Structure 1
Amino acid sequence: MAQVKVYGLREHLDAPTKARMSGEIHACAVEALGLPERKRFHRFFALEKEDFFYPESRSERYTILESSMFEGRSEGAKKALVRLLYKRFGENLGIGPEDLKVTIIESPRANWGIRGLPADEIGLDYTVEV
């Protein structure tokens, strides 16, 4: 399981951009983490300028991406995800490395509730330990 939150300025998170970002994020997660195609959980937070403070060295396209996921992925898999996100956001969305911040937040499966149960009590149809 991986849930992604994307924060950015409203004027740069229009509907077509959000759809493209979601596609790139999911493609990276499928490739690096082995997530199933059907497991896409993305939320976008389009902020007004007065609600989003960031360093002067960043542009108005500055984007923060937070991915919450179960523990168990290898360091290599997480690094692969980060590298893919920077690569594809740059190549396909025109958002360079200075304008993208990526954070992975991991927690034990017991800390997640899914379909009425703690996640560590649910059988998954995909492998987390990659």
Structure 2
Amino acid sequence: MSQVKLYGVREQLLPIRERLSDVVHSCVVDALQFPANKRAHRFFYLDKDDFYWPETASERYVILEFMMMEGRTVETKKRLIHLLYERVCEQLDLAVTDLEICILESPAHNWGFRGMTGDEIQLNYTITI
């Protein structure tokens, strides 16, 4: 299981949301071996006055936050991060200083979906990659 939160300045993020979602999803499918039809993205549009970003970044600054079940190797998570920088920056013409990524993990028993906990459900993809 993985969910993605995408944060950015409203005027910058809104016009690219569909392309950004597609690119992020392609990285998740390739790096985490997710099914192509499994996407859980939430966009958080912030007013400029409510969003402070590093001096090294521009108004196009985007934060990607991944919430995932534990189980993936360090190499798998690094592959995801590297793919995100490669594809997002190239396909959306975003500077690497305008993209920040964080992966947060939680045990499967802390997740609930389809009426079960994550450690009780049979997924159609693997977590331990």
Normalising by structure 2, what TM-score? 0.97
**Which residue pairs with 1:5 in the alignment?**
5
Which aligned pairs between 1:19-38 and structure 2 lie closer than 5 A?
A: 19-38=18-37
Amino acid at match of 2:26: A
Partner of 1:82: 81
Q: Which runs of 4+ in 1 moved over 3 A?
A: none
Q: How does 1:1-130 map onto structure 2 within 5 Å?
A: 1-14=1-14, 16-130=15-129
CA distance in 1, matches of 2:59, 2:69: 32
Q: CA RMSD in A?
A: 0.8
> Is the Cα contact below 8 Å between 1:2 and 1:69 reproduced in 2?
yes
Report the residue type matching 2:10 in the other structure: R
Q: Distance in 2 between matches of 1:17 and 1:105?
A: 24
What code does the residue aligned with 1:42 have?
A: H
SS at structure 2 position matched to 1:35:
coil
2:88 alignment partner, SS class:
helix
Matched-pair identity in %: 52
Return 5+ residue gaps in structure 1 as ranges.
Answer: none
Unaligned runs of 5+ in 2: none
SS in 1 for 2:17: helix
Q: Secondary structure at the match of 2:119?
A: helix
Measured after TM superposition, the shift of residue 103 of structure 1 is 0.2
- Aligned pairs, number: 129
Letter in structure 1 aligned against 2:21: S
Matched residues in 2 for 1:128 and 1:38: separation?
Answer: 16
TM-score by length of 1: 0.96
| One-letter amino acid of the counterpart of residue 2, structure 1 | S
Code of the aligned partner of 1:49: K
Q: Is the 8 A contact 1:86 1:96 kept in 2?
A: no
